[in-house]
Amino acid sequence: MRALRRVTLAAAVVAAALGAFLYLQRTEPAWWARLWFPLRYDAVVRGYGRIYKIEPALLAAVIEQESKFDASAQSSAGAVGLMQLTPQTARGIAIRTGGSKFVLSDLDNPDINVRYGAWYLRHLLDKYSDERTALAAYNAGQANVDRWRADHEGVQFAETRAYVDRVERLKKIYRRAYAKRLGYG
């Protein structure tokens, strides 16, 4: 009898915890979103958002998706830092933004990495005049997006479609969860 009560009590506790978890996942209050999606370097994100006229929540979403706010992140493809820039892309940005010398270790610096990444994202937003297309180019490369557009095709990589959808969802989460820290409130 006691064993049955314990099992029943344990099942009730598990069911309540699961129900609460599912409710929080579905309703996603701001405090819950902040637990799952932390924001770091918010002054850098706000500052370069303002300079390059990019919504800070969009910059935060790209950083979350690219590196989970890990300034030392490195991909197998050679992308580095918060915004996962390749050395080749960063070198081009450094030259276009008035730099005379590029050093790979610059990409480990959150301020430089976000500055270059924000500049590049602004370039893509200006080139494509559409946020989703710009995000696709950030993920898949401009050459791929240009080819898809020339062939009147949509995004051809499932990974890139998922990336764009995820960044757009994260943008909404960051806008809501960090309204004041990102300068919305």
Catalytic residue among 28, 66, 153, 168: 66
CA angle 23, 28, 34 (to 5 degrees): 130
Q: What contacts 24+ positions apart, CB below 8 Å, involve 157-160?
A: 160/136
End-to-end CA distance of the chain: 57
66 labelled catalytic: yes
3-state secondary structure of 29: coil
Q: What contacts 24+ positions apart, CB below 8 Å, involve 167-171?
A: 167/58, 167/61, 167/62, 167/65, 167/135, 168/61, 168/131, 168/132, 168/135, 169/61, 170/37, 170/60, 170/61, 170/64, 170/65, 171/55, 171/57, 171/58, 171/60, 171/61
Residue 120 · residue 58 · CB < 8 Å:
no
Positions marked active-site: 66
